[in-house]
């Protein structure tokens, strides 16, 4: 069964825990760089002590030794899922996978904020076909033994046919019918993302900015059950 990961994109530990506590059946939470830098590892320990699984989304991209160290530290902290950039290369990905222990790793391919032109500029390759680039990087991550891929709702179906059935597909950009798009452009509703192959959907503002986070969370869980 697919899981709903609530992105706790708030600035303080207090706010994050208040939100988590408002959803007693919360199964998974995402901690990003802002919250992690404000609260430190304490936020992970607090969430874990409440029985919540933690997705630490710090998107590591460094030399293999550094990334392996970060992955090992996250695993010691009992993080359940963390992210690395596939563009870090096969050696970095292998080092990360080797250090991951019981923790799962998902690879980020091309940031969805890129256009073909901006990606081409960053990589010195002219205009790049981003669909091909996403597939290429996902295959690299799989070859290195990484367990999953972060993918947009638009690509999740194609990604599912590219990777094995065991691979986790972590999909942000989820908008339940009728909710505000915010800055997301490539969105899908929860059920469509899961039907296309998502194992984990990441939902932030539709839940965290709602007057009734628990009701929206439960509604999304029911929709994908
Ligand atoms: O609030 P919203 O539902 O848009 O939050 C989506 C979450 O997924 C955010 O935490 C954001 O960092 C993350 N994300 C994303 N798009 C990506 C990768 C991650 O929105 N391509």
Q: Read out DSSP for 157-168?
A: HHHHHHS-TTSE
Where does the pLDDT of residue 185 fall: very low under 50, low under 70, confident under 90, or very high at 90 and above? Answer: confident
Question: Which residue lies with its CA nearest to atom 10 of ligand 1?
Answer: 7
Where does the pLDDT of residue 184 fall: very low under 50, low under 70, confident under 90, or very high at 90 and above? Answer: confident
What's the gap in Å between 126 CA and the centre of ligand 1? 27
Q: What is the rounded distance in angstroms from the CA atom of residue 177 to the CA atom of residue 162?
A: 28
Question: Which residue lies with its CA nearest to atom 13 of ligand 1?
Answer: 172
Q: For ligand 1, is residue 203 a contact (CB within 6 Å)?
A: yes
59 is catalytic: yes
Q: For ligand 1, is residue 196 a contact (CB within 6 Å)?
A: no
Question: Which residue lies with its CA nearest to atom 14 of ligand 1?
Answer: 172
pLDDT tens-digit readout, 69-115: 999 999 999 999 999 999 999 999 999 999 999 999 999 999 988 99
> If you average pLDDT over residues 205-219, what whole number do you get?
96
pLDDT number for residue 186:
73
Q: For ligand 1, is residue 202 a contact (CB within 6 Å)?
A: yes
What's the gap in Å between 101 CA and the centre of ligand 1? 26
Q: What is the rounded distance in angstroms from the CA atom of residue 146 to the CA atom of residue 72?
A: 14
Q: What is the mean pLDDT of the chain?
A: 95
What's the gap in Å between 56 CA and the centre of ligand 1? 13
- Look at residue 201 and tell me whether its pLDDT is greater than 90: yes
**CATH number of the domain bearing residue 197:** 3.20.20.70
Q: What is the rounded distance in angstroms from the CA atom of residue 204 to the CA atom of residue 159?
A: 23
pLDDT tens-digit readout, 107-157: 999 998 899 999 999 999 999 999 999 999 999 999 999 999 999 998 999
Q: What is the rounded distance in angstroms from the CA atom of residue 126 to the CA atom of residue 123?
A: 8
Question: Which residue, chain included where needed, has tokens 């990484």?
Answer: 146
Q: For ligand 1, is residue 87 a contact (CB within 6 Å)?
A: no
Q: What is the share, in percent, of the chain residues with pLDDT greater than 70? A: 100
Q: For ligand 1, is residue 205 a contact (CB within 6 Å)?
A: yes
Q: For ligand 1, is residue 39 a contact (CB within 6 Å)?
A: no
Q: What is the share, in percent, of the chain residues with pLDDT greater than 90? A: 89
Q: Could you tell me the two tokens for 215?
A: 């009701």
- Look at residue 181 and tell me whether its pLDDT is greater than 80: no
pLDDT number for residue 194:
97
Where does the pLDDT of residue 179 fall: very low under 50, low under 70, confident under 90, or very high at 90 and above? Answer: confident
Q: Which domain holds residue 112?
A: 3-224
pLDDT number for residue 213:
97
Where does the pLDDT of residue 34 fall: very low under 50, low under 70, confident under 90, or very high at 90 and above? Answer: very high
Question: Which residue lies with its CA nearest to atom 5 of ligand 1?
Answer: 204
- Local structure of 177: helix, strand or coil: coil
Where does the pLDDT of residue 40 fall: very low under 50, low under 70, confident under 90, or very high at 90 and above? Answer: very high
Number of domains in the chain: 1
């Amino acid at each position: 069964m697919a899981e709903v990961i609530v992105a706790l994109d708030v600035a303080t530990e207090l706010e994050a825990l208040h939100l988590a506590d408002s959803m007693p059946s919360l199964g998974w939470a995402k901690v990003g760089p802002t919250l992690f830098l404000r609260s430190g590892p304490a936020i992970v320990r607090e969430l874990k002590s409440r029985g919540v699984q933690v997705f630490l989304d710090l998107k590591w991209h460094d030399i293999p030794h550094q990334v392996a160290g970060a992955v090992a530290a996250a695993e010691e902290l009992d993080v359940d899922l963390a992210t690395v950039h596939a563009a870090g290369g096969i050696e970095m990905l292998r080092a990360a996978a080797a250090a991951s222990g019981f923790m799962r790793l998902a690879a980020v391919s091309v940031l969805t904020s890129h256009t073909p032109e901006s990606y081409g500029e960053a990589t010195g390759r002219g205009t790049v076909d981003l669909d091909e680039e996403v597939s290429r990087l996902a295959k690299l991550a799989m070859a290195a033994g990484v367990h999953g891929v972060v993918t947009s709702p638009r690509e999740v179906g194609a990604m599912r046919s590219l990777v094995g059935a065991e691979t986790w597909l972590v999909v942000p950009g989820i908008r339940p019918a009728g909710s505000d798009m915010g800055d997301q452009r490539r969105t899908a509703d929860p059920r469509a993302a899961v039907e296309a192959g998502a194992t984990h959907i990441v939902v932030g503002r539709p839940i965290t900015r709602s007057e009734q986070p628990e009701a929206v969370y439960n509604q999304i869980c029911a929709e994908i059950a």
